[in-house]
Structure 1
């Protein structure tokens, strides 16, 4: 049963990456702020907390309507808690960690005074069965680039399926907790934990979460995000 669940998880991530990558390569995006009004978030007071979400199709909102992506729903959930969150979603469907690293500098040239960066990458590396060391090196460089700009990080972890072999699985699964410790970053150990084995929360492509699935993921992770936002002085 555990093996089957793990396979469902990687199938959800990897197959989604294939679907997202089937079209022409996406151009370098200009980061866009989440539309708070469309999520129904209540107005809050207090200092603005600028958050960058930097990931792949799981953050980009593949197959969802406006205001239904994870970053948009996360912003609403944070604001409902009284956190004056303004989320900039700079995510691209199909991105590997290498692709993310290649566009990080462009993203930060648009704005680099974020209070927090939420990094969600690695599922497409699993799809391509890229060497775990390559994934680690790319994520290390991304976190280092954010650290150099004094931007705290929350890292969204991924897990490898057992069919890739025990050694591969051990090497890949260690990446996220190791880097979180090295860079003193907050960590969600497995970003898909709340939905990967609940098909009713997955779109007909059997890959991406539905809008309800996104809300489930937000409910499961908003505490970690809120805790990772640095306190105001």
Structure 2
């Protein structure tokens, strides 16, 4: 993968940041967490695309309209497509915490569900089978809620800090789950963004508004063909 040494630094810093954010999250009560991820109401005619992920999806450090889900909303609007984008990204999210809040997030009908979780697991050395199990359960809950929901899985990669075997097996979780559940997959959400200084904020961790635009293009390449007629 391009820029691997810089990507290693990028994702290592992301781990430190997300650990702190997770601790803060654990101190919050349910009401505070709900307020942080409030879901807007939509018109009956609109279809919903829900992005479920980490600080990368939440757009940490940026205005809400600069996060890649909002960029996707702008693109949909410009094309005259009647979709409401919901950004359910939460900083510090792991697959386990995502599994715990998925039922609340699915409090409305979702037509397209974009799943962006796993990076924080990999950076913390969470057992691979635990990550796989949590992602599998999230996918199955979404399908149980509405079998017609189209699920897109965002692939992620981590630096080789945990060893070559762990790193390789982690990367393979995503295409293997995509094949198992017949899902469309974004090969790597941070392609052409991770490790590139001018596409990341001063902390060297989170993408800038320009970086988010590139992420939106990475998503759109897959999302466009999955939009229900």
Match of 1:160? 158
| Structure 2 SS opposite 1:117 | strand
Q: Does 1:10 align with 2:17?
A: no
C-alpha displacement of 1:134: 0.7
Structure that is richer in helix per residue? 2
Normalization by structure 1: what TM-score? 0.85
Q: Does 1:142 align with 2:138?
A: yes
C-alpha displacement of 1:31: 3.8
d(CA) in 2 for partners of 1:189, 1:173: 10
Q: 1:93 to 1:115 in 2, by over 3 A?
A: same
d(CA) in 1 for partners of 2:165, 2:41: 40
- After the TM superposition, which segments of 4 or more aligned residues of structure 1 sit over 6 Å from their partners? none
Contact (CA 8 Å) 1:12, 1:208: kept in 2 or not?
Answer: no
Match of 1:32? 39
Aligned length: 218
Normalization by structure 2: what TM-score? 0.86
| Structure 2 SS opposite 1:163 | helix
d(CA) in 2 for partners of 1:146, 1:197: 33
Match of 2:90? 92
Q: Does 1:117 align with 2:113?
A: yes
Question: What are the equivalent positions in structure 2 for 1:34-183 lying under 5 Å apart?
Answer: 48-108=46-106, 110-111=107-108, 113-148=109-144, 149-150=146-147, 151-183=149-181
d(CA) in 2 for partners of 1:173, 1:165: 12
Contact (CA 8 Å) 1:154, 1:187: kept in 2 or not?
Answer: yes
d(CA) in 2 for partners of 1:19, 1:52: 26
d(CA) in 2 for partners of 1:191, 1:58: 9
C-alpha displacement of 1:9: 5.0
Contact (CA 8 Å) 1:34, 1:72: kept in 2 or not?
Answer: no
Contact (CA 8 Å) 1:34, 1:88: kept in 2 or not?
Answer: no
C-alpha displacement of 1:88: 1.4
Contact (CA 8 Å) 1:53, 1:89: kept in 2 or not?
Answer: yes
Gaps of 5+ in 2: none
| Structure 1 SS opposite 2:24 | coil
Which range is displaced more, 79-88 or 122-131? 79-88
